[in-house]
Amino acid sequence: MYPYSTVKRTTTDNDEAFRSTRPRPLACNFRSASFGTDVTSFVISPDGFLAASASFINNSHTVIVSYVTTNLHRHFLIGHRKKISSLTFSPDSQRIVSGDFGGVLRVWNAESGESIWTQEEHDGKITSIAYTSTGHQVVSVSEDGTVRLWNALTGDMVHIFDADGAVQCVCFSQCGSWIASGGEDGVVRLWDPKNVVPGAVFDGGHDGTVNSVAFSPDNVHVASAGADSTVRIWNINTKMMVHVLKGHINPVRCLTYSPSGKHIASGSDDSTLKIWDVGSGVPETTWEHGKGVITVLYSLDGAQLLTGTKDYRIYSWIYAFGCQDTAVISTTAISMGGQHVASSLGGNAVQLWDTESGELGPNLYGHTGAVDSVSFSPVGDFIATASSDSTVRIWETAKGGCLEKLEGHTGIVTSVVFSPQGTQVATSGFDQTLRWWDFSIPVSDISSKESDRLGASLHEESGTLDGIYVHDESGLFHAP
C-alpha cells in the first residue's frame, strides 16, 4: 500500500487545496530485467511518454528507449564503446543525449533511433547533461573538471568552462541566461553561456558532493541537492542561501521545482520523495518508495509527478482535488445531459454523483482490479467500466446494479466508450486489441450466457492502444 497524505498545491494565482492524494503507481512498472544488466542511468522524457535507460545488453553498451505506460521497447540505441554514464531528453522529447565513461557524447533521434552527432572532447566520465529550454544548446559536465557548451543541432562546441574539480550535475535556467553546476567539492557554480564568463559561486553550504541542481521558474533561485542529505536554496541576485531543507536521512539524488515555483520535489536514497514549500522551507508531504528515488518530473500543470527508482520502476503521483482523504480520482466521466458524474476512486469501485443535488449515488462494486476508464451511454441510463482485471462491466445508472460482464481481453482494459447510438461498446487494452461489443437488443435483456457476443476484434501490431476509436455512418469518434 502507498501512503495517504494531504497536500496544498498552487497552480494559479489563487490558492487551491488539493486534498487527499494517494499516490497511484502506473499500471505497468519498469523492472530491471527489462533493461539488461548494469543499468547506470535512468530518465523520463519531459512529456512523460518515454523512458530511457543506459544498460549493457547483448555485449553492447546500449540506450534502451521504452514507453512509460506499457513497458514496450521502442529503440535500442547502440554506438557507445564504454559504459554509458548519463542521459537526458530534449525539451520536446524528440532527442536523447547520452554520455559515457570515456567522455563521448552522442545525440539520438528519439523518433527514428538514428544517431545525429557524436563528440569526443571530454577527457573523463560525463556525469550530467542538460538542454536549454529552447533546445538549441546542450551542456555537459565531466569528472575532467570542465563544463562544455554545445550547439544542439550541429554538435559544434561553443565554449569550455573550467570548474576546478570534478563536476557531478548541471542544468540550464528557464531563460537560458545561466548554467548551474555542482561538484564533488560541495560548491554550486553559475556560468554565463551568453557572455561565456563565470558567474556566482555558492560555497560554504553542502558538506559533500552536490548531486543535483535546479533553477526556479522565475530564474531568481537555484536549488541544490547534496550527499549531506539536505536541499539548499540560493538567491542568485544576493548570492545568499535562503533555506536549508532538512528531512531526508540519506543523500538526496534528484530535485525539481514545480511549474508554479512554489514547491520543490526531492528524491533520496532513503526511498522517499518529499514535497517542500519553498517559502517556508517546510516539507508538506513525504511519499515512500521501495527503493531510492533517482529521478523526478513534474507534469506541466503541476498536478502530477513521475518518479523513477533504483529498481527501475516508474511511479505516477496524482493530486486529486476536492475528494475524500482516502481517495484518488483516476478517471471521470459525465453523462450526456450532465445529470451524473462517475469517478473511479483509484481502486475497483466507481462512485456516482448527482450534479444537481450534489448527493452521492450508488457505488459500483464488482471489478477485482483498478478501474481505468468509465463511459456513459448516450442517454445516460447505462455506464460501462474498463478494468485491470481484463473485464468490462455494464451498469444501470439508477440503481448501480451490474447488468453484464464482458470477457475477452487477455490484459488490462485501458479504455471503453459507447457508440453514439448506444448499441455498441468499444474497448482497447494491453493485449493490443481493439474490440467492439454489439448490443442490438437492450442491455437489460442481455443474459450472462450471451456475453461472448463480440462484434469484432482488431490486432494492432505497433503496440498497445491507449485509446478507442468507434466508427459508424456519422464518422469517427474518439475516447481519450
Residues in the chain: 480
Task: Give the integer Cα–Cα distance in Å for 12 and 228.
Answer: 34
Instruction: Give 66-108 as a DSSP string.
Output: EETTT--EEEEEEEESS-EEEEEE-TTSSEEEEEETTS-EEEE
pLDDT in the model for residue 127 = 97
* Mean pLDDT for the stretch of residues 19-39: 44
Res. 277: pLDDT tops 90:
yes
pLDDT in tens, 197-239: 899 999 888 999 999 999 999 999 999 999 999 999 999 999 9
pTM of the entire predicted model? 0.64
**What confidence category does residue 443 fall into, taking pLDDT thresholds of 50, 70 and 90?**
very low
Is residue 147 within 8 Å of 187, Cβ to Cβ? no
Higher pLDDT, 167 or 470: 167
Is residue 267 within 8 Å of 252, Cβ to Cβ? yes
pLDDT in tens, 138-196: 999 999 999 999 999 999 999 999 998 999 999 999 999 999 999 999 999 999 998 88
Res. 26: pLDDT tops 70:
no
- Among 190, 156, 187, which residue's Cα sits nearest to residue 176? 190
Question: What is the overall mean pLDDT for the chain?
Answer: 79
Task: Give the integer Cα–Cα distance in Å for 309 and 31.
Answer: 10
Q: Kindly report the CA angle at 370 between 364 and 375, in degrees rounded to 5?
A: 55
For residue 35, which phi and psi values (nearest 5 degrees)? -120, 20
pLDDT in the model for residue 132 = 94
Which three cell numbers mark 465?
492502444
Per the rule left: phi > 0, alpha: psi between -120 and 50, beta: everything else, 445 is: alpha
Task: Give the integer Cα–Cα distance in Å for 45 and 92.
Answer: 8
For residue 284, which phi and psi values (nearest 5 degrees)? -90, -30
Which three cell numbers mark 398?
439508477
